[in-house]
């Protein structure tokens, strides 16, 4: 198999917040790797913009250091980095001031794609949008990329959508959820809609339940100020986990096209039943002998913010009625592992005498690390001794199945930025989707507040609080083990 890199058209990309953590850790190292792969035209330019007073040379030096730190193995190629840096420019602008905008206007080329990445807090989106138009920098062909969090509840998300809509059309707005850019997340759609095998079984006749786990080993890592106002529900469930739920549960779109896919995802979110509060568990990681607890990391000794959530959701439609979707996510858990597991029903009747085990087919989609897909099937245990059955995985770890082709796979940010340049919104959230997701999570968060809910403590390096295990145990089910 030969990996194919399809070059994108020429562009000028402005990164507001170009000196920030996200730009230095993800966006610029990602762009560097795309340049290295040959996907970016020689003339394409990247313009960092922020309040910090520095010139283009200073910015290039900052990004050289960022690539050395976050660029991965490709960062060893000094000549390639030098070439990449020549594409960079820097303009000092304040999103709330008037200085620098004229300079930005004059710098941009009008005959290439213009994209504006808002890698700043959402409080600045309106200011940036308004100035981009007032200074005649962006026109109706410009593309705007906005980061999460897209609001902190339905009301604020509506306000943000309204602000952006005053200045740009929906087909110009790219709302990032980087989980949609992950290779295996897209593979989920390929597996579902590119094979005849699964679709007939993908419903409540054959599926017992579905588990979605996004487990992290990291804590809040210096982001305490942001995270403590957010918690796992806003930071992970409202966006990443709900997007995964949508892709696993949606009806087949008529084609792989931005609105067709997003229409189907929206229907899933709208069909979600409100969650019974007995079906949600919140947790907060405790201290150990060597590492601090969540409250210390978040610098609030009385914080009731959750670093873990587990819940049981139901989708009210013909396909999924009665099938529980168990979702959990948390920080400082036992392993970094994200997995979706489709657990099929037991056989109604076994023809093998003496075989009392509960054999189940399980389709497990491993998002990270070790991306791949496994199908648990039941076979005869080899050798004499009669028909003894055993469950084994049919394993398609992508690194093994695809060999070197699996290595050059772009990371989520790289792929999504290239999609912006290509003008493909399929892997971005539409405004109505984001609002529908908040409409489902808001009552959960409000319920916690109204009941003064206190999260359960859990041990670092565990699978979360005991109550999360009970959530499935009560239903006669078991979480899959969290392991890399």
- State both tokens at 472: 């499935």
Using alpha carbons, list the distances in angstroms from residue 195 to 189, 198, 200, 372, 471.
Answer: 10, 7, 10, 16, 33
> Any contact of residue 235 with ligand BG6 (CB under 6 A)?
yes
**Partner from ligand NDP, ligand BG6, none contacting 398, C-beta within 5 to 8 A by type:** none
Instruction: Give me the catalytic one of 89, 209, 240, 279.
Output: 240
**Partner from ligand BG6, ligand NDP, none contacting 124, C-beta within 5 to 8 A by type:** ligand NDP
Nearer to ligand NDP, 181 or 324 (CB): 181
C-beta pairs of 178-181 under 8 Å, 24+ apart in sequence? 178/240, 178/412, 178/413, 178/416, 179/239, 179/240, 179/243, 179/244, 179/367, 179/412, 180/243, 180/412, 180/416, 180/427, 180/428, 180/429, 181/411, 181/412, 181/413, 181/414, 181/415, 181/416, 181/419, 181/427
Nearer to ligand BG6, 230 or 350 (CB): 230
CB neighbour class for 48 (10 Å; exposed up to 12, middle 13-18, buried from 19): buried
Q: CB of residue 97 vs ligand NDP: minimum separation in angstroms?
A: 8
Using alpha carbons, list the distances in angstroms from residue 408 to 9, 84, 191.
Answer: 21, 18, 21
Q: Is 51 annotated as a binding residue?
A: yes
- Let me know: does 118 contact 69? Beta carbons within 8 Å: no
> Any contact of residue 120 with ligand NDP (CB under 6 A)?
yes
**Partner from ligand NDP, ligand BG6, none contacting 337, C-beta within 5 to 8 A by type:** none
Instruction: Please count the other Cβ atoms lying within 10 Å of the Cβ belonging to residue 342.
Output: 22
Q: 12, 147, 208, 216: which one contacts ligand BG6 (CB under 6 A)? A: 216
CB neighbour class for 256 (10 Å; exposed up to 12, middle 13-18, buried from 19): middle
Is residue 240 annotated as a catalytic residue, yes or no? yes
Which residues 6+ apart lie within 8 Å of 448 measured at CB? Answer: 282
Q: Is 21 annotated as a binding residue?
A: yes
Q: Is 19 annotated as a binding residue?
A: yes
Q: How many amino acids of this chain bind ligand BG6 (CB under 6 A)?
A: 3
Q: What's the chain's length in residues?
A: 484
When CB distances to ligand BG6 are compared, the closest residue is 235
What part of residues 14-73 is at the interface with ligand NDP (CB under 6 A)?
Answer: 16-23, 50-52
Q: What is the DSSP letter of 303?
A: -
Tell me the window of 145-153, 200-208, 351-359, 424-432 that interacts with ligand NDP (CB under 6 A): 145-153
Nearer to ligand NDP, 128 or 266 (CB): 128
**Partner from ligand NDP, ligand BG6, none contacting 235, C-beta within 5 to 8 A by type:** ligand BG6
> Any contact of residue 119 with ligand NDP (CB under 6 A)?
yes
**Partner from ligand NDP, ligand BG6, none contacting 371, C-beta within 5 to 8 A by type:** none
Active site residues per annotation: 240
The binding site for ligand BG6 (CB under 6 A) comprises 148, 216, 235
Known binding residues for substrate are 178, 182, 216, 235, 331
The binding site for ligand NDP (CB under 6 A) comprises 16-23, 50-52, 93-96, 119-122, 124, 147-149
């Amino acid at each position: 198999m030969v990996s194919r890199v399809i070059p994108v058209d020429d562009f000028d990309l402005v990164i507001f917040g170009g000196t920030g953590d996200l730009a230095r850790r993800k966006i610029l190292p990602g762009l560097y790797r795309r340049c290295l792969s040959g996907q970016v035209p020689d003339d394409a330019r990247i313009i960092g913009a922020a309040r910090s007073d520095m010139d283009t040379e200073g910015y290039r030096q900052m990004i050289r250091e960022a690539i050395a730190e976050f660029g991965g193995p490709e960062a060893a190629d000094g000549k390639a980095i030098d070439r990449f840096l020549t594409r960079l420019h820097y303009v000092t602008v304040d999103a709330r001031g008037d200085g620098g905008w004229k300079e930005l206007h004059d710098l941009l080329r009008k005959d290439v794609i213009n994209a504006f990445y808002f890698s700043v807090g959402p409080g600045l989106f309106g200011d940036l949008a308004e100035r981009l138009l007032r200074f005649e920098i962006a026109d109706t062909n410009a593309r705007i990329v906005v980061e999460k969090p897209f609001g902190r509840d339905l009301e604020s998300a509506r306000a943000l959508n309204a602000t952006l809509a005053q200045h740009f059309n929906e087909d110009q707005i790219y709302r990032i959820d980087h989980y949609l850019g992950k290779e295996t997340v897209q593979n989920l759609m390929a597996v579902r809609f590119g094979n005849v095998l699964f679709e007939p079984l993908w419903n409540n006749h054959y599926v017992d339940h579905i588990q979605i786990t996004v487990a992290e080993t990291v804590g809040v890592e210096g982001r305490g100020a942001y995270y403590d106002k957010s918690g796992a529900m806003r930071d992970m469930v409202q966006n990443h986990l709900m997007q995964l739920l949508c892709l696993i549960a949606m009806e087949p779109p008529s084609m792989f096209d931005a609105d067709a896919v997003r229409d189907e995802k929206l229907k899933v979110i709208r069909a979600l039943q409100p969650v019974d509060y007995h079906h949600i568990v919140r947790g907060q990681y405790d201290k150990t002998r060597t590492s601090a607890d969540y409250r210390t990391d978040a610098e609030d000794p009385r914080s009731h913010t959750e670093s873990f959530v587990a819940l049981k959701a139901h989708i009210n439609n013909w396909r999924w009625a009665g099938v529980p979707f168990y979702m959990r996510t948390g920080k400082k858990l036992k392993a970094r592992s994200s997995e979706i597991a489709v657990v099929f029903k037991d056989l109604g009747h076994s023809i093998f005498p003496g075989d009392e085990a509960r054999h189940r087919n399980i389709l497990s989609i491993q998002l990270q690390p070790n991306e791949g897909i496994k199908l648990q099937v039941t076979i005869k245990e080899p050798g004499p001794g009669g028909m003894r059955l055993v469950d084994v995985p049919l394993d398609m770890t992508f690194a093994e199945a695809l060999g070197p082709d699996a290595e050059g796979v772009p990371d989520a940010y790289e792929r999504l930025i290239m999609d912006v340049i290509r003008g493909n919104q399929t892997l971005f959230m539409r405004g109505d989707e984001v609002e529908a997701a908040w409409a489902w999570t808001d009552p959960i968060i409000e319920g916690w507040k109204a009941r003064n809910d206190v999260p359960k403590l859990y041990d670092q390096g565990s699978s979360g609080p005991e109550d999360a295990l009970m959530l499935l145990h009560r239903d006669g089910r078991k979480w899959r083990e969290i392991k890399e």
